[in-house]
Structure 1
Amino acid sequence: MRSQAAGFVTRVTARNRLPLDYSVASLRLVDFLIDGLRKGGADRERARETLFGLGAYVGEVLVRRAGAVWEDFDADQRAYFGQPVGVRMPDGRVWNPLGKVHNRFDTGGPTESLQTFYLTLHGRARRVVA
């Protein structure tokens, strides 16, 4: 997933000069990008690759800033989360950044903010070296 996130950032920043720098603050930009897809009339299928890239990016922010590690979900987790991968936090909790991006796209609004998701996330490491 790390390479997925890096490839997405390379493609998006080359064309648009977006400051996707894996910072917590950049998650607000992810919120705006998803809102723009919704307002632009994209349906989930047309936005599928972009949403996957944004989900990989959000997960990578969790890896770099919160001490998470990427993890392939087992069959039960895949059924529950609806995604093949997620992240495991230092305290053992499992989170689904790909699903969180889809939730933001589907419902929008501040209750599904990716930046708020990070800031209220349980299980973060206190200090992570990126």
Structure 2
Amino acid sequence: MSTDTLIADRIEIADLFTRFALLLDEGRWDDAGTVFADDVAVHSPRGGELRGLGKVVEFMRQSEVEGQRAQHTTTDLLVDLDGDQADASANSLVHYYRDGRAPHFTGGLRLASTVVRTPAGWRLREVRITPVWTRAEA
């Protein structure tokens, strides 16, 4: 694989993680197929194990809290490419807030993912979300 292709793939995977964060922040559940593969598996303490795009979207819709918003910041992305698949991991800081107010809850997460190249571009096939710490604001 050429250096140009490796660089392009890494940029596209970094963009994928940003699109994932924005999807969560903006609640654009109908756009989930631009981030997740159809056969996605998501593992998290809140949702347990969810398999399939439909189940993931259903969980995200049901998890919405009236008036609460979130801001996800993804950092420290590591990508290990292997052809049309890659292992990728990152840290995520999540701030939960209400419009015009400071965050009332903040958490640090570790994301471990398998991403795959599809005809539509790179997509998350598996995501493991591990909370590292939380802080309720006073």
* TM-score using structure 1 length: 0.27
Higher Cα Rg, which structure: 2
Q: Which has the higher helix share?
A: 1
Whose strand fraction is larger, Structure 1's or Structure 2's? 2
Greater RCO, CA 8 A, separation 6+: 1
Q: TM-score, normalised by structure 2?
A: 0.26
